[in-house]
A and B are shown apart, each in its own frame.
Chain A
Amino acid sequence: MSGLTVCEKILARAAGLGSVMPGDVVEATPDVALSHENTFLIHRAFREMGGVRIANPSSVVIVFDHRAPANTVNSANTQKAVRAITSDLGITQFFDVGAGICHQLLIEQGIAKAGMLVTGSDSHTTTCGAVGAIGIGLGASDMAAIWAKGSIWLKVPESVKVEISGKTPEGVYSKDISLETVSHIGAMGADYCCLEFHGDYISDSTVSERMTLCNMAAETGAKSVVVPQTLLPDPLANYSRTIKIDSSKIGPLVSTPHSVEKVAPVSEFEGTKVDQAFIGSCTNGRLDDLELASAILAGRKVHPGTRLIISPASAEIYAMALDKGIIGTLVSAGAVITSPGCGPCLGAHQGVLADGEVCISASNRNFRGRMGSREASIYLASPATVAASAIEGKIADPRRYIR
């Protein structure tokens, strides 16, 4: 006897099959086809394929978030061209500059739902696993094929069960759990797999916390990541392995330069001078993240030698944070608030790092050169650790500031 995992159920349904096995190659019809500024490249390949009309235009979602508003003339010309493309091809789900980050909007706007197959031309498409969808990142040519044919070939991945259980200690957040998960599995330890999250930490977590986890889990090489809900795995579903993580034994963590899997307790790096601190991105730019930062920064100041940059993940989050006085608190503390979008995470604008600088960031990647100079160093941590570090001007344990 056997059964299907969530990923197998979703891929079987999207391929019009009764059942699938890991290793099967299926032609699947995605419910969502997400892209950002790279729509320009997708359209180019789509035209080369002879595409005239999009096979399934209601599945297409386009968001300007990577360089929004445009940072260079090239970016501006790209965005101008993509605006014309959306209008010519009848794409109605188009979010222009300032709306927010694509992965945030898919969930916030109710586009991604449990049981859906979401494809995106961005590696962090895994984020929508937080609401029970299977999100798979692809390149521009694959997305062009989806535009042209309405379907794409996908290999059914093995599913790995990840059980996270235990009450988290104070000062420990979903980012810390995520870093522990990446470190435990390794930077490519889940290559070609789908991670399925279980355990009482997961069942007690909020959508925002699950988004952080499903987002960061892309750094294990996972093809997709899912928190089962509505559509559940069969009791006898097959997992290639089970990984158990005790979330009660985790303290505040940092991922150290230049690899996400190099994770250590924050205590080992306390005192490292910080030039820039960043809170934002599809990993940690949500209301709970900004609220946590403002609770820590209230009545305090960012250290004179340090810049704190905060990018709300969407316009809706920005408006709610304004309403609640969070933005005011952050600005009074000396933070720079950018427009909603990816911000400095990908090193294009809004806080590019100089040679030799150190950044502590609540984003998801610390590859050499990711946020600017290849001579810069990036540490990844929770928004609480980033806020505490911004106050001290050096990497700091957030537990001193939790009230």
Chain B
Amino acid sequence: MICGKVWKFADDIDTDAIIPGRYLDDYSPLSLAKHVMEGVDPTFASKVSKGDIIVAGRHFGIGSSREQAATALLVAGVEVILAESFARIFYRNAVNKGMLPLICKGGAEAFETGEQIVIDIEKGVAHSAEESGKSVALDKMSPYISKIYSSGGLVKLVISELGKT
């Protein structure tokens, strides 16, 4: 079970919004986290806390292949993102970094910023911490994606794969 406070974002949050290209000359994860989501909400980096959950609409992470988009969110404290859909490369990057990008139809309509939600991966649901709150179903993760996530990310998976051979 994962619990956290929601930050809600719209459709089409692109990688330039998550971490603008001009900051990518600095490869320090902490420096990146200071500018996370600056393209949509310049105050977000100062408000977000560890364990917070992003809930978004369609196409989260559309655009560039910059892994720093996932890294910036992770270092800022966001480990779970619920979205109607993800851009392909962002989705891979997030899983590879050990994050949990969950595809969830209707999540953006069900939850609001500031709300506490509970995610139950085994049951495949996300629901409001309030008893009267809403509940939405999560798409099942593919076996390969689950394997990367449960290994703690791609670096750890490759270490174990190379160790076996």
Which A residues contact B (CB, under 8 angstroms)? 25, 38, 40-41, 44-45, 48-50, 66-67, 71-72, 74-75, 78, 120-123, 125, 137-142, 144-145, 148-149, 153, 155, 187-188, 191-192, 221, 223, 259, 346-348, 352, 365, 367-370, 372, 374
Q: Does A348 contact B89, Cβ atoms closer than 8 Å?
A: no
Apart from A122-B64, A144-B155, A347-B21: 18 A-B pairs, beta carbons within 8 A = A49-B155, A49-B162, A50-B159, A67-B25, A74-B25, A122-B65, A123-B89, A125-B65, A139-B70, A140-B93, A142-B154, A188-B58, A188-B85, A221-B59, A368-B14, A369-B17, A369-B20, A370-B21
Q: Give the CA-CA distance A348 to B24 in the complex, in Å.
A: 8
Instruction: Report Cα–Cα, A191/B83, bound state, in Å.
Output: 15
Which residues in B have some Cβ–Cβ distance to A below 8 Å?
Answer: 12, 14, 16-17, 20-22, 24-27, 38-39, 58-59, 62-68, 70, 85, 87-89, 92-93, 96-97, 142, 144, 153-155, 158-159, 161-162
- B89 contacts across to A, CB distance below 8 A: 123, 137-139
Please tell me which one of the listed residues B63, B65, B159 contacts residue A365 in the complex, with CB atoms under 8 A apart. B63
Q: Which of B24, B70, B87 contacts A221 (CB 8 A)?
A: B87
**Bound CA span A49–B156, Å:** 7
Q: Known contacts being A138-B89, A139-B92, is A367 close to B162, with CB within 8 Å? A: no
CB distance from A134 to the nearest CB of B (A): 14
Cβ-defined contact, A367 with B25, below 8 A:
no
How far is the CB of A184 from the nearest CB of chain B, in Å? 17
Contact of B162 among A41, A50, A71 (CB under 8 A): A50
A298 and B66 CA atoms in complex are apart in Å by: 39
Chain A minimum-CB-distance residue to B69: A139
Query: In the complex, are the beta carbons of B39 and A138 less than 8 A apart?
Result: no
B32 to chain A, nearest CB (A): 11
Q: Are A137 and B65 in contact (CB under 8 A)?
A: yes
Rounded to whole Å, the gap between the CB of B142 and the closest CB of chain A is 8
In the bound complex, CA of A221 to CA of B78 (Å): 24
- The complex places the Cα of A145 from the Cα of B67 at a distance, in Å, of 14
Complex Cα distance, B20 from A140, in Å, reads 17
20 contacts between A and B (CB under 8 A): A25-B142, A45-B154, A45-B155, A48-B159, A49-B159, A49-B162, A125-B65, A141-B154, A142-B92, A142-B154, A144-B154, A153-B144, A155-B144, A188-B59, A191-B88, A259-B12, A346-B21, A347-B20, A365-B16, A374-B39
Q: Quick one: closest A residue to B95, CB to CB?
A: A141
CB B93 to nearest CB in A, in angstroms, measures 4
Residue in A closest to B27 when the chains form the complex, CB atoms:
A40
Instruction: Write the chain A residue with the least CB distance to B70.
Output: A139
Q: How far is the CA of A138 from the CA of B154 in the complex (A)?
A: 13
Nearest CB in chain B to that of A74: its residue:
B25
Are B63 and A352 closer than 8 Å at their CB atoms? no
* Chain A residues within an 8 Å CB radius of B67: 38, 41, 121, 139-141
A187 to B67, alpha carbons, bound, how many Å? 20
Whole-angstrom CA separation of A40 from B24 in the bound complex: 11
Chain A residues with Cβ below 8 Å from B63 are: 123, 365, 367
Residues of B within 8 A of A66 (CB): 24
Contact of A149 among B14, B88, B162 (CB under 8 A): B162
Contacting pair A348 B153 (CB below 8 A): no
A244 to B144, CA, bound (A): 35
Contacts of A71 in B (CB 8 A): 25
Bound complex: CA A40 to CA B27 (Å): 8
Chain A residues in 8 Å Cβ range of B14? 367-368
**B144 lies within 8 A of A78 (CB):** no
The answer for the CA separation of A376 and B38 in the assembled complex, in Å, is 15
Are B25 and A72 in contact, CB atoms less than 8 angstroms apart?
A: yes
